[in-house]
Each structure stands twice: as C-alpha cells, then as structure tokens.
C-alpha cells in the first residue's frame, strides 16, 4: 500500500475542506494517508485522531497577531514543528509521496529530508502568495520579491504541481517554469450529497423578511468590508431584510467594528465558524441571496472561491463581482454586480431581492451546474492521476536510485 503525507499549515484538518476531500479520495483508492497540520483554536484540538481511516497529527501553532512579524513568527514555528513531526512519522515507514499545501510557500523546506530520501513531492497550490501579500499589505518592494522567490522555490522543490484552477496552472507553467505534464488542475468542489437544497429554518428570518447570507473565511482579502458597505447602502433603500455572516478569520473583529460604525448591528449577525456542515447547509438554504463580495484584485481575479460552488450546490442565488475565475465557476448562474464598487454590489442585491423568478432561475441553474461540473467527484480522477505521476516521476525515481547507490557503497565499505 503506497504511503502519503499531506502537510498543511494555514488550517486544521478536517476543517480544511480541500484536504479533507483529498484524504478521503486517496484512502478510498488504497493509499495509506497521514495528515500533518496545526491544532485549531476551538476545534480539531487533539494532537492525534484517526478520521475515516486518515491519521491526523497536529502540532501546537504559534498564533499570528497579524502583521509581517506576526506571520514570520507563525511560519518559523510551523516549519520547526512540521519538520520534527515529519521525521518522527517517517520512523514508522518511509513515505512514497509528500504533498505540501501552501500558504506559506516555504513549507516544502520542512520536508526536505523526506525528499532527499526518495519521497516524491507534490505542491498543492492553494493561494497565490505574492498576490495575497500585495492584497493584504498594499505594497511591493523587497518583501514582495521575497514572496516571489519563495514561490519559485516551492515549484523547484516539487515534482508535481496540483493547481486549483486554470489561472494557477498558467502560473505554474509561466512563473514556475514547470512542464505541462507535471501540472494538474484539481478544482475545489463541494460534496453535492452534503451541499444540497434542504428545508429552510424559519427561525433564522425576522418577521418574514428576506435573509442575505455570506459563508466562508473572513480575511482582509475576502471583501467583508465591501459587503458591509453595500448592506449599509441597501438599508438606505429598503428595510425588509436581515443578514448573517458564517465564518471566522483575522478580519472578523474589524468587521464587527465596521458593522457597529455603520449602524447595522440590529440587522446583521456574525455567527462565527459553523463546524456542523448540515447546519451551514440549512443556513444557506434559508437565504434568499448569498454574497461573494471579494473585490477585484490580482489575487481574487485568479482564485477559485469555494463559497461560490457551495452556494450553487445548495441552490442559493449568488451575488458576486464579475471576476474571471468566479465566472468560470458560476457561468451565467450568478447575479454579477455592474461595477466594482459597494454601490454596484448593493444594486445587484436589491435587484435580485425584487425578482423572485430570477432567483428561482439562478437556484435551479446553479444546482445543476454544481452537480454536473463542480462537485468534488469531478476532481477525484485528476487527483489520482497527479499522485500516479508523482509516484513514478523520473526525478523522484532518480533520487531513490541515488539513495540506494549510496547505501550500497556504504555497505561495501563496511
């Protein structure tokens, strides 16, 4: 049975939906899968669990307070902890393939020893870190160039790249100088047997008013500030709605403060991270409109937003900015804002709330698109192809051959 190690730094598992789905797919295909990740704050806190046949080992992370120094400290601690745990886990048997998920792009350094000893390496490219840096800190310069260097290093240390969409694939071929045969597009996709239309929960509505929802990570690049500005504009026009935000992240407290400053506390609720997926699906099924407010920038234009495919799968009409990868995900099954401003976003929400036939059309079309094109089952075969390529990659086989030769030489000398 081939053995795989998956390393992820920025989320715990199984909270990370992509890694959870990948692990299950590999296990079902006969792989022995181990995941190495940080402990969560209010979930996934045990140092070890076996979940659906996947062994999950967790280390205690250093939580970043934000800012460059905070992230540097978090990543340094993650590198040390990951390296230590990976070496300990290798004592139970060598790994055939090691998959490293970003961010940060320096995480492949933590498994260099495993790579030298013959493990094939996969870089699972979750985020464009240089663009993420620019969107968070609004600047270029030496540190931005450092993120580009780290990305090149991640590509160089990988035998195979798994990209989340075509834009990321183009990045791997361009900035990463990877060969086309070594780059596989494995899209994020919901489990459409879980993310599906279910009966709504009337208790979530207030006096029968429209319910607007947003679910996902609340980070500085995710546009929650834009969504709140749009809702403030919407409230000036109409009073027949309330909104819920389900999710957590480093921008949550700032979002709550902005909500108060805008005078929206009586109509907007922050639910925090909703660990129960069935509960999350019920919330989305109750919403008349779901928001994907990520603003236009170099990161969001090229990123696949998992929330959009989840909304589509549940059959909740989506309002979003017209970004290239968002349109590749939703096609014509979303209400796109007519511009890149909060006011334009408010216009799109306003129009959709007044048009029930349009909402029904988007609901039916979105669900069909999710089932036919976007579900995780559509990505499973490509993931397994990527692992097969890595397992028999010429570079990995050459490293294993050199290791055998060195071992043979040592035995001869002994």
pLDDT digits (tens, 9 = 90+) for 145-200: 999 999 999 999 999 999 999 999 999 999 999 999 999 999 998 999 999 999 99
Residue in 271, 293, 294 with CA at minimum distance from that of residue 284: 271
Q: What is the mean pLDDT of residues 292-303?
A: 94
Residue in 101, 288, 276 with CA at minimum distance from that of residue 205: 288
Q: Work out the pLDDT band at 408, boundaries 50, 70, 90.
A: low
pLDDT > 70: what percent of the chain? 96
Q: Work out the pLDDT band at 338, boundaries 50, 70, 90.
A: very high
Q: CA 17 to CA 23: how far, in whole Å? A: 10
pLDDT > 60? residue 226: yes
Which pLDDT value is given to residue 411? Answer: 57
**DSSP-based three-state secondary structure for 339:** coil
Q: Work out the pLDDT band at 207, boundaries 50, 70, 90.
A: confident
Cross-strand partners of 320: 292, 336
Q: To 10 degrees, what angle do helices 342-353 and 356-369 make?
A: 100
Which pLDDT value is given to residue 8? Answer: 97
Distance set, CA 315 to CA 331, 365, 366 (Å): 14, 8, 6
For residue 74, the tally of other CB atoms under 10 A from its CB is 20
Q: Work out the pLDDT band at 136, boundaries 50, 70, 90.
A: confident
Which pLDDT value is given to residue 42? Answer: 78
* Strand 183-185 with 210-215, pairing: unpaired
Average of per-residue pLDDT values in the chain: 93
Q: What is the mean pLDDT of residues 92-106?
A: 93
**Contact (Cβ atoms closer than 8 angstroms) between residue 26 and residue 55:** no
Quickly list H helices, 14-66.
Answer: 17-28
pLDDT > 90? residue 96: yes
pLDDT > 70? residue 87: yes
């Amino acid at each position: 049975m081939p053995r795989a190690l998956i390393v992820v730094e920025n989320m715990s598992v199984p909270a990370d939906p992509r890694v959870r789905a990948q692990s299950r797919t590999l296990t079902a295909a006969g792989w022995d899968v181990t995941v190495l990740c940080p402990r969560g704050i209010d979930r996934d806190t045990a140092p070890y669990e076996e979940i659906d046949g996947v062994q999950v080992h967790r280390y205690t992370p250093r939580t970043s307070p934000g800012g460059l120094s905070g992230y540097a400290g978090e990543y340094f601690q993650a590198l040390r902890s990951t390296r230590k745990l990976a070496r300990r886990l290798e004592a139970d048997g060598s790994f055939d393939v090691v998959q490293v998920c970003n961010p940060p792009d320096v995480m492949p350094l933590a498994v260099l020893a495993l790579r030298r000893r013959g493990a094939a390496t996969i870089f699972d490219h979750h985020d464009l870190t240089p663009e993420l840096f620019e969107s968070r800190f609004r600047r270029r310069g030496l540190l931005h160039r450092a993120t580009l260097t780290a990305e090149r290093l991640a590509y160089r240390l990988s035998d195979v790249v798994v990209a989340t969409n075509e834009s990321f694939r183009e990045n791997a071929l361009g900035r990463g100088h990877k060969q086309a045969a070594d780059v596989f597009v494995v899209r994020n996709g919901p489990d459409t047997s879980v993310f599906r239309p279910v009966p709504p929960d009337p208790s979530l509505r207030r006096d029968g008013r429209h319910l607007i929802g947003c679910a996902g990570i609340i980070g500085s690049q995710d546009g929650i500030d834009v969504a709140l500005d749009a809702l403030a504009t919407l409230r000036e026009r109409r009073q027949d709605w309330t909104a819920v935000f389900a999710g957590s992240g480093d921008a949550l407290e700032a979002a709550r403060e902005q909500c108060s400053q805008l005078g929206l506390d009586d109509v907007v609720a922050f639910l925090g991270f909703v660990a129960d997926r069935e509960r999350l699906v019920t919330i989305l099924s109750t919403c008349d409109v779901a928001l994907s407010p990520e603003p236009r920038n170099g990161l969001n234009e090229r990123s696949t937003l998992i929330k959009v495919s989840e909304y589509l799968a549940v059959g909740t009409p989506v309002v979003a900015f017209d970004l290239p990868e968002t349109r590749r995900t939703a096609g014509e099954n979303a209400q796109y804002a007519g511009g890149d401003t909060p006011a334009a976003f408010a216009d799109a929400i306003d129009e959709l709330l007044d048009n029930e036939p349009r909402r029904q059309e988007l609901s039916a079309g979105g669900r069909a698109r999710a089932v036919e094109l976007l579900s995780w089952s559509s990505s499973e075969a490509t993931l397994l192809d990527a692992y097969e390529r890595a397992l028999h990659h010429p570079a990995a086989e050459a490293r294993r051959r050199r290791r055998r030769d060195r071992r043979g030489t040592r035995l001869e000398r002994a």
